[in-house]
Every structure is written in structure tokens, then in C-alpha cells.
Structure 1
Amino acid sequence: MSPTLVIILVVVVVVLLVIAAIVFGVHASRRRRLQKTFGPEYDRVVGDADSRTAGERELEERRKRHAGLELKALSAQNKARYSAAWEEVQIQFVDAPEQAVATADELVTRLIAERGYPTGDYDEQLATLSVAHARTLGHYRDAHAISERSRIGEAETEDLRQALVHYRALFADLLGENPVRSEGAAPGTEPDVPSQKTDDHDSDVAVPRRDATSR
């Protein structure tokens, strides 16, 4: 093999290695960006997909659809209106927990719509919300699941209380106030929901008065 051919082969190998490094770097950068944007939703989507590439493609599509939405910021007046409505939901929970959860679902859906997100299809809601509200998406899934069980009479009072806590997580995130506790935060800072006294033996469970509900 002539020296010239050896040099050409070396140059070709180096060029191929550089191209491979660039491609790897681009993919790694995109992966880090998707993981940062979607958090635990990244693992969920990639785990459900046929391959990591397919999962990441789905997340990129979500990001593009989200970029095409005309999202709206809430005015101070609307924020106050929604906050007052949520307080009414918590008051309602004391006497009618099932109805309170149904009302919470309707209120959250209304807020989602007012912010500019689609509300027609539940899966579509999740997909579009996952781009900017990934950290509270698990709360919404859990709340929705309990709400569905409540509709057929299969949810206990504590389940319903947890549903309200979950709904409030996304509600606060969309409202942009009173952010919910993130992973690793100090205990005792999660959204508060009134407990409901179920019988005379539940002396350790306080029922708040209507004029002294939780936040």
C-alpha cells in the first residue's frame, strides 16, 4: 500500500470519527434537554415506546405541538377568582367529598382551557401539559384515576381527599401561585385538604368549620 493511500485512509477514518462524535454529541444534548424538560415523563414515554429513539421522537412532537399553542397568562383578577373557587371546593369536601372531587375536576379542566391548552381528549391534555407542567402531571393522572373510580362508587373518603390534593398540585402549577412541594422538599409543605370525620370514633380527625377551612 502506497504512503499516499495510507494517508487518505487515515484522513477518512479521522473524518468519520469526528462526524460520529458530532452526531453522538447532538443526540446526547437533545436527550439531556428532553430529560430536563419532561422529568419523570421522559422515563414513562421512553419506557412505553418501542425504542428510546421512538420515545424521544414522541417527546419532540409534544414539544413542537406545545410551541404552536397560544397560551395565556391569567390576570390578577382571574387568579383571585380561581383561588376563591378552590376554597369553595375544599369547603364542599367536608359535607360532600364525591361532589367536591367532581367539582375539582371541572375547575381544573376549566383552568386548563383558560390557559390555552386543549381539553377535548384526556390523553391529548396529558401530552400538551407534559411540556411545561411535567412535575405535576403525575398528580393529575392520580387525581383523574381516583375521580373515575369515584364515579362508579369505588373510592373511599381518604382516596377522595388524596384526589383533591393531587388536583390542587396541578391547579397551583397552572395558576402560578403556591407551588407544590417538589421531590426532596421538607415534609409538611404539601397542599392541605380538610379531613372528613366519618364516625364518632374518629376523634383524632378534625372537621374544620366552614369559616375556618384550610388554605
Structure 2
Amino acid sequence: MSTQNALLILAAAVAVLVAAGFLVRALSGTDRGASPLERRFGPEYARTLAWHGGDTESAHRDLRERLDAYGGIRALPLEPAVRAHYTAQWTQLQEGFVDAPRQSVADADELLARVAATEGFPDTDRREMQLVALSVHHPDHVEGLRALRRAAGSSTASTEELREALVEARALFEALMETGSPTRVGAVRPGSGRHRGHLLKPKGSGV
């Protein structure tokens, strides 16, 4: 089995575990027992816990390290003209999907990286750091970026898989366009917010 296929299978397994976790919580009808980190990160908490094999201590350490490194980011608001420019670019790449699906997915990845960098997240040449930071401030939508990158990096992804990845990633694009401000900041007190080298991509992180 190729490394690429193994990663796709792992990603699918994590998605199943995350879905199972949310199903259990939905059936119980309550979040009263949720930890501050679980409430803060929502679906990203479940995904991280699954990535760490259900090890709550490791998952909490991972998430707290992300908060300490990136919780202090305050996204810069986009000027109306810049927002309109980015929106037009997204519309254009969507329209080009029919003729060039793989190129559209790659363009979407590039565009999301540029938008995030414009708002004050790590630069486009530090994609993994940028993704970690986005997982702190946009935990409800960052999985769409991961799906987009998996699709962009897969030489065997079908047109439908590419389309689904682009659709999922649009939620993050729209969230970045809405206010230029990260979501749910302050639910857990962050650390210094300094981008300390050993926390830029925590060891064992599921990002």
C-alpha cells in the first residue's frame, strides 16, 4: 500500500471516529460534561482526540499548545476592495472547475493561504503553521482545508472527490470573508500568543 493511500485511509478512519463521537453526544442531548477545551474547539476537539487514539491527556496537551502558540492572534479586517478581489477569485476558480478540477483545487488552496496570511495568520510559505493557527480560530471549518490539501496532493482523487473537497473548503473561505476576525476567541484563556519555535507544530499533533 502506498503512503498516499495509507494517509487517505487514516483520514477516513479519523473522520468516522469524529462522527461517532458527535453521534454519541447528540443522542445524549447534552454538552454539560464537556471540558472548556471541548467547548472551545468543537469538532476539532473530537478530531484531535481521535488522532491521539482517545488519549485525553495527549489531546489536551496538543490543543493547549496550539492555544499558547496562536491564541493571541487577532485577525486583521479585510478592506472592502480586498474582500471583493478575493471573492471574485474564488468565484473564478469555482467556475473553472468543470474544465480543470485539479487546477481549481490547487488554486483554492493557494487562495485560502493568501487570505489567511493577509489577515495576520502565518505566511503562505509556512503552510503547516498556518493550518495549526487556523485550527485554533476556525475550528468549525479548518477540516475543509485539510480535505482540500489531501485532494490536491492525491493523484488518484476522482472529480467528485475534488468537488467535495472544494465545497467543504468554501466554508472556511466564507468564514474568513465574513468579519476578518477569528471565531470564539476567549473561551479559553490563551498563553502569551508568542510563536515559539517548539510549539509551531506540536510533536504528535493531528494537524
Q: What is the TM-score normalised by the length of structure 1? A: 0.61
CA contact (8 A) 1:37 1:132 kept: no
Alignment partner of 1:115 is 2:119 = yes
Moved over 3 A (4+): 47-51, 119-123
1:56 maps to which residue?
Answer: 60
Report which structure shows greater RCO (CA 8 Å, sep ≥6).
2
1:15-34 matches, cutoff 5 A: 32-34=35-37
In structure 2, relative to structure 1, the CA distance for the partners of 1:54 and 1:160 (3 Å cut) is closer
1:137 to 123, 138, 142: 142
2:183 maps to which residue?
Answer: none
CA contact (8 A) 1:101 1:160 kept: yes
Greater shift, 67-76 or 92-101, is seen at: 67-76
Query: How large is the Cα RMSD of the aligned pairs?
Result: 2.3
Write the letter of the residue equivalent to 1:32. S
CA contact (8 A) 2:106 2:152 kept: yes
- SS of the aligned residue for 1:94 comes to coil
Deviation at 1:167, TM superposition (A): 2.2
2:157 to 149, 155, 158: 155
2:83 maps to which residue?
Answer: 79
Deviations 1:185-211 (A, max 9, x none): xxxxxxxxxxxxxxxxxxxxxxxxxxx
2:40 to 37, 40, 47: 37
CA distance in 2 between partners of 1:89 and 1:75 (Å): 21
1:190-201 matches, cutoff 5 A: none
CA contact (8 A) 2:109 2:145 kept: no
Q: What is the TM-score normalised by the length of structure 2? A: 0.63
CA contact (8 A) 1:139 1:169 kept: yes
Deviation at 1:39, TM superposition (A): 0.8
2:177 to 167, 172, 175: 175
CA distance in 2 between partners of 1:41 and 1:70 (Å): 20
Alignment partner of 1:100 is 2:96 = no
Number of positions where the alignment pairs a residue of Structure 1 with one of Structure 2: 146
1:16 maps to which residue?
Answer: none
CA distance in 2 between partners of 1:77 and 1:56 (Å): 40
CA distance in 1 between partners of 2:52 and 2:160 (Å): 34
User: Unaligned regions of 5+ residues in structure 1, if any?
Assistant: 1-28, 178-215
Greater shift, 60-69 or 43-52, is seen at: 43-52
- Matched-pair identity in %: 38
- SS of the aligned residue for 1:74 comes to coil
Deviation at 1:67, TM superposition (A): 2.7
CA distance in 2 between partners of 1:93 and 1:78 (Å): 23
1:66 to 58, 70, 89: 70
Write the letter of the residue equivalent to 1:145. R
CA distance in 2 between partners of 1:64 and 1:123 (Å): 16
1:6 maps to which residue?
Answer: none
CA distance in 1 between partners of 2:74 and 2:125 (Å): 16
Deviation at 1:70, TM superposition (A): 5.0
In structure 2, relative to structure 1, the CA distance for the partners of 1:47 and 1:167 (3 Å cut) is closer
